[in-house]
Amino acid sequence: MINCYAFGLVPPFAQGLVRDLRVRWALEEAGLPYRVTLVGGRPGETPPSDYRAVQPFGQIPAIEDGDLTLFESGAIVLYVAERSPALLPARQPARAHVVQWMFAALNTIEVAVMRLAELDLFHASEAWAAERRPAAVEAVQRRLAELASRMSPREYLVGSFSAADILMTTVLRILRHTDLLAEQPVLVGYKERCEARPAFATALAGQMAAFAD
């Protein structure tokens, strides 16, 4: 059974956004059994110092599948998707297009989104952050507009729902502290469509349950 590492506790602004959500969602969609090991300082949790042997940067998520240890959410989602035709088509060029959009979610959209999120959530009181924010907002708006032009009139990034939509949706969710996504109704509809999937609800509930405890 796959073992997925997740944080046992995070600040409220990060709850529901931690990247193990991507892995849980992919596992739920693929119908693969898994268990969750929490990392933190509470009794029964894996100490962060021990977790470094699994993930050298101390970040979440990581998985263990038999003798395989794997970190980085994109790599893990791809690994899971390769075991599920529902998430990654077997035939080309559809397969390559899904992988393309997985990379786009992480390298093109998330980079801009996280630059803004870091300013807003970690450095909001800093004068330098206020100076940089307009440019960061503009960069996000530009990427969202470009993504929206690609989406309309598509329901998903590549044909039917795929691993690319898991990554893209979880990236768009990072903007929940802003109104920027609302400027692109097609993306709001896309995100809500993906979040309406039962596998997403199960994955999110699993992540939030740890924080409730």
Q: What is the DSSP string of the chain?
A: -EEEEEES---GGGTTTSTHHHHHHHHHHHT--EEEEEESSSTTSBPHHHHTTT-TT--S-EEEETTEEEESHHHHHHHHHTT-TTTS-SSTTHHHHHHHHHHHIIIIIHHHHHHHHHHHHHSTT-HHHHHHHHHHHHHHHHHHHHHHHHHTT-SSSSSS--HHHHHHHHHHHGGGGSSTGGG-HHHHHHHHHHHTSHHHHHHHHHHHHHHH-
Do 98 and 193 fall within a single domain?
Answer: yes
pLDDT-based confidence at residue 78 (cuts at 50, 70, 90): very high
Give the pLDDT of residue 152: 82
Question: What's the domain range around 136?
Answer: 94-197
In this structure, the answer to whether residues 132 and 150 fall within a common structural domain is yes
Can you read off the two tokens belonging to residue 201? 């609800």
Q: Which residues pair with 37 in a beta bridge?
A: 5
Q: What is the CATH number of the domain that holds 207?
A: 3.40.30.10
Total domains present in the chain: 2
Residues 74, 103 share a domain: no
Residue 213 has pLDDT above 70, yes or no: no
Q: Are 122 and 185 in the same domain? A: yes
pTM: 0.96
A 10 A CB-CB count for 71 gives 16
Alpha-carbon gap, residue 211 to 207, rounded angstroms: 7
**Proportion of the chain above pLDDT 90, given as a percent:** 94
Quick: pLDDT tens for 99-142: 999 999 999 999 999 999 999 999 988 999 899 999 999 999 99
Same domain (yes/no): 27, 48 = yes
The CATH number given to whatever domain includes residue 168 is: 1.20.1050.10
98 and 192 together in one domain: yes
Residue 111 shares a structural domain with residue 81: no
Residues 62 and 129 placed together within one structural domain of the fold: no
User: Same structural domain for residues 189 and 116?
Assistant: yes
Indicate the average pLDDT of the chain.
96
Instruction: Say if residue 159's pLDDT is above 90.
Output: no
Same domain, 83 and 156: no
C-alpha 119/C-alpha 133 separation (Å) is 7
| Span of 59-73, 148-162, 196-210 with lowest mean pLDDT | 148-162
What per-residue confidence (pLDDT) applies to 153?
87
The single residue listed with the structure tokens 């035709």 is 85
Per-residue pLDDT band at 212 (split at 50, 70, 90): confident
Determine the average pLDDT of the residues in 166-186: 98
101 and 173 together in one domain: yes
Specify whether 165 is located in the same domain as 136: yes
Average pLDDT on 156-169 reads 96
